[in-house]
Chains A and B, each alone.
Chain A
Amino acid sequence: MSADELLGVLDRIVDRARADEGVEAFGLDETETTVKAHDGAVESLSSARRRGVGIRVVSDRRVGYCYTVDLSDDALAAALDEARDNASVGTPDDGNVLPGPRPVDDFDEDQLYDAAVERVTPDEKVEAAIAVEQATRGGGRHITGTDAARYGDSVRIAAIASSTGVRADYRRSDAYLLVEALAGRDGSTTSALGLSMGRSLAELDTDATAAEAVDRATRLLGGTAPSTARLPVVFDPFVTASFLGLVAGGLTAEAVQRGRSLFAGKVGEQLAPSFVQLVDDGRLVGGPAAAPWDGEGTPTQRTVLLEDGVLRGYLHHVASAVRDGTSSTGNASRPSYSAPPGLSPTNFYIEPGTTSPAGLIADIDTGFYCQQVMGLHSGANPITGDFSVGAAGVMIRDGVFAEAVREATIAGSIPQMLEQLIAVGDDLRFLPFGGAMGGATLVVDGMTLAGGAQGDA
């Protein structure tokens, strides 16, 4: 279905709006392919085509939602009626309003979509998945296998129309290579991911993806539980991205308004050293979550959350903005047609520094390079930011990697981590952990690393 056809469907819904209600229709048409490879051959190839619409009705400050994949006129009319019924049940709230149109300026939509993605043949997709699997498998004598070797791509056409005058569409392509390397030595097995993302196959780097997985898995071999110590911890970009997912969740206005944010009431406070900038930018065209407008048709924007270490504000969609008497930052999220708009970060990242990861590590006498955390989203209290998570990685001694570490935990809190940041690496990259999180190597001073061995903690 083309964007125009999809908009046509949405128009037919919105045209039925009554004078005393607001009606918004959001449509998606997605095609995607995923190829998994194993042992040098295709394990599975999956291709998909999916479309559907979600209808939001606002009346008397109440909101209701219904979705359907049946796009016949009768089914759409029935879904609209159901959304109206659903609206009658909700609690009235001033935040329940549909936004009017706002122009999307200075956004280069051509950079969201690479037509080459639609010219990649099934055979080429298969080759890409096999190539990354084979390159990983050939990554050295300790590599025992691979898991989850895959190539995937998708084209997403999104459209929105509303009785308040919003009418827009966009098209975005995405492609990725992902592989998990398995490494083994002396009965111990480790695994680690390599990942490459772009707008089409041509932007992906097979060798770098494989090498990343191999290096990260091999490095962990022979790990043992460390003795407990307080020391500087270096987070690799994957781990940083995981932590940023937790931070970004606390920076949504909804979490703040509902008493679930560790950043509540802290606007204007210095939360991190002045070299720290945390940014959400839905317009960053290289970012995986880039889009011209958000899930309510509001233009996306660059929002600086931590500026020189000082908290400047929160992320908003329309409802949270109305409650706070401010305007939406374009962070209404819409992963599918089947859910009403939520409030999420877009491309959320820490601005990179100028020192390479190797340079940061070289400056550390004794430290822990943390490459994996486990249980972050269960082991962390999102309200206080306290966490205690499983960790694996490598000790740093005299500026170089030493013995591997497993069955360790690191404990601390998000506020303390932000305060104790001592450096950000120059290796910013986006990773799909908890959204599109831009992680870089971080050095955090004075964290507690604990192992199974009895320590003095």
Chain B
Amino acid sequence: MTLPELDDADVRAILDAALSSGGQFADLYVEQRRSRSVGVDDQRVEDLVTGLDRGGGVRVIADGRTAYAFTNVLTREALIDAARTAAAGIDGRDRATIADLRTVQPPYSHPARRDPAELDGPGMADIVRRIDEAARDVDGAVRQVGATYGDTTQDVLLVNSEGHRHTEHRVRTRLAARVVAARDDVVQTGLEAPGAAAGLELLDEHPPDQVGRRAAERAVLMLDSRPAPAEDMTVVLAPGSGGVLFHEACGHGMEADIVAKGASVYQGRRGDKIGSDLISGVDDATIANAWGSFGFDDEGTPAQRTVLFDRGVCTDYMTDRLRADELGLARSGNARRQSYAHLPIPRMTNTYILPGDDDPDEIVRAVRRGLFCDQLGGGQVDPASGDFVFGVAVAWLIEDGELTHPVRGANLVGDGPSILARVDAVGTDFDVREGICGKDGQGVPAGLGNPTVRISRITVGGTGA
């Protein structure tokens, strides 16, 4: 299915209504999304849900204020009505004129090589069954398996008063396995959840049985874990596992809306040396078919690679149109929205710590006592202070350069600038994970990546003696 037909005259009429109260800029965002998902839980295939959602929103900006109205009735009349509602929230002086409309092609595309539609309902159910079976085969201690398969196909039309018309077809596919293992009184969970801005080729790279096995192996491994110690330690982050820490503790504070509000610990620090020489990090929406990639952001700015930290120096913030103007910065293509029902705000795309020069094995061997984090759980950060806390889902104790035994219940407590400063080794390896980042009540797909990274000292909160 495609978006409803809106010709140039319709679009101009909508934008004209939007600007009627003196708006300086207006745009129309129309989206159609087909979603499909199925789950297996307790060996039952259930919740095969498919559906169509679509809607359009009209945004008007004047004097730094934004008014937005959306509807999911996609007729010319309903959209003009929404435009008038938005206009009523604006009292501007410099009404923009609408430029001639011209189509702008996205600079990057992330095509699905295999359209998810090739897979029918029974095929979807088969995938989650395979995850379930593979997980159960790992060990008799596996008690519960929950698995999901999901895909979304999103068509976006974006037209603004500057005359730019963009369209983009975005496909995302994801698998997830959550396994509960139990032995005696110990109960542990394991998670594996790969995804991509791609189609069914995801299944080639991440076969369902492998996804199930990995989640189960993590849960079973943790059955033998000991309670984590509570002390300051050296922490080594495994490839892929540290991306979420960087995303939360450093990335959010580099988003321009948080900076503009004075709520970021990184405010006013562009050009400052904050981290160790070894640490460089980027936000990159251009990586082919990565989970957080796109061609255009959700207000039509081309996808970009933005350097956040260059050898420890705080470089560029991530902006949308509004905050770029407000802060006098370039648009970095980080305006994202969960759906037509949300305003675009600065968000990360794929946020990666870049590989360094150190041998990953050596990084661990040089640690006398520390924590090796193979998988972090969720985390939370206060961008104003940079303070964060992260649960550690899978970790090992490092003693005299060796991983000795798995530990559970650890969390990492600290603040972003300090950990950047305490990075003392960065490996040549690299891996990624995929997540959904929540901010202002909006969830968007976010890619997370890192090599092996060692932090000389971090507070580990644990329950062990």
Hey, which bits of chain A sit against chain B, CB under 8 A? 38, 41-52, 54, 63-70, 75, 79, 82, 85-91, 93, 122, 126, 144-148, 182, 188-191, 225, 228, 257-260, 338-340, 374-375, 377-381, 383-384, 386, 388-390, 392, 406-409, 411, 448, 450-452, 454-455, 457
Contact = CB atoms under 8 A, between A and B. Distances in A.
Interface residues of B, number: 79
Given A43-B66, A339-B49, A377-B378, A50 B387 contact: no
A389 B387 CA distance: 13
A225 B389 CA distance: 14
21 contacts: A46-B70, A46-B343, A48-B69, A49-B72, A65-B48, A65-B50, A69-B54, A79-B51, A85-B121, A87-B48, A90-B44, A90-B45, A189-B263, A260-B144, A378-B377, A378-B390, A390-B413, A392-B387, A411-B230, A452-B232, A452-B459
A69 B49 contact: no
A88 B45 contact: no
A66 to B, nearest CB: 5
B390 A375 contact: yes
Contacts, number: 237
Contacts of A182: 262-263, 384
Contact of A46 (B68, B71, B265, B387): B68
Contact of A406 (B71, B387, B461): B387
Contact of A189 (B41, B265, B413): B265
Contact of A375 (B35, B82, B380, B415): B380
Contact of B51 (A67, A147, A260): A67
Interface string B4-29: 00000000000000000000000000
B231 interface: yes
B215 interface: no
A406 B68 CA distance: 38
B370 to A, nearest CB: 15
Given A69-B72, A340-B49, A411-B463, A379 B143 contact: no
A67 B51 CA distance: 5
A52 B341 CA distance: 13
Given A43-B66, A374-B389, A191 B71 contact: no
A63 B121 CA distance: 13
A113 to B, nearest CB: 22
A77 to B, nearest CB: 13
Interface string B79-90: 000100110110
Interface string B189-225: 1000000000000000000000000000000000000
A159 B187 CA distance: 41
Closest 6 CB pairs of A and B: A390-B389, A378-B378, A409-B461, A67-B51, A378-B377, A378-B391
Contact of B72 (A52, A64, A86, A377): A52
A379 B384 contact: no
B230 A409 contact: yes
A407 B461 CA distance: 10
Interface in B441-465: 459, 461-463, 465
A97 B169 CA distance: 38
B326 to A, nearest CB: 11
B41 A46 contact: no
A374 B388 contact: yes
B52 A69 contact: yes
Contacts of A145: 261-263
B440 interface: yes
B411 A381 contact: no
A286 to B, nearest CB: 23
Given A69-B72, A190-B385, A258-B144, A89 B465 contact: no
B50 A147 contact: no
A15 to B, nearest CB: 21
B379 interface: yes
Contacts of B258: 147
Contacts of A42: 65, 89
Contact of B411 (A75, A79, A390): A390
A119 to B, nearest CB: 16
B46 A338 contact: no
B354 interface: no
A407 B189 contact: no
A338 B53 contact: yes
A31 to B, nearest CB: 10
Interface in B415-449: 415, 440
B328 interface: no
A388 B461 contact: yes
A41 B377 contact: no
B327 to A, nearest CB: 14
A455 B187 contact: no
Contact of A86 (B50, B71, B343, B462): B50
- Which of A48, A64, A85, A225: most chain B CB closer than 10 A? A48
B42 interface: yes
A346 B127 CA distance: 34
Nearest to B390: A375
A191 B264 CA distance: 11
Interface string B291-309: 0000000000000000000
B384 A91 contact: no
Contacts of B359: none
Contacts of A408: 413
Given A91-B44, A122-B89, A381 B263 contact: no
Given A225-B459, A258-B41, A258-B42, 7 more contacts: A41-B65, A44-B343, A89-B125, A91-B44, A188-B385, A258-B144, A409-B461
Interface in B253-288: 258, 261-263, 265
A65 B413 contact: no
Contacts of A375: 377-380, 389-391, 411
B143 A90 contact: no
Nearest to B66: A44
B420 to A, nearest CB: 16
A259 B144 contact: yes
A389 B411 contact: yes
Contact of B261 (A147, A379, A392, A411): A147
B180 A44 contact: no
A457 B67 contact: no
A93 B384 CA distance: 50
B380 A89 contact: no
Nearest to A412: B463
A145 B263 CA distance: 8
B413 A407 contact: yes
Contacts of B180: 259-260, 383
Contact of B232 (A91, A190, A454, A457): A454
Contacts of B265: 189
Contacts of B82: 49
Contact of B53 (A67, A93, A148, A378): A67
B384 A190 contact: yes
Contacts of B189: 381, 383
Contacts of B89: 42, 45, 47, 122, 126
B51 A68 contact: yes
B92 interface: no
B57 to A, nearest CB: 8
B49 A86 contact: yes
B409 interface: yes
A41 B262 CA distance: 16
A383 B136 CA distance: 19
A45 B62 CA distance: 12
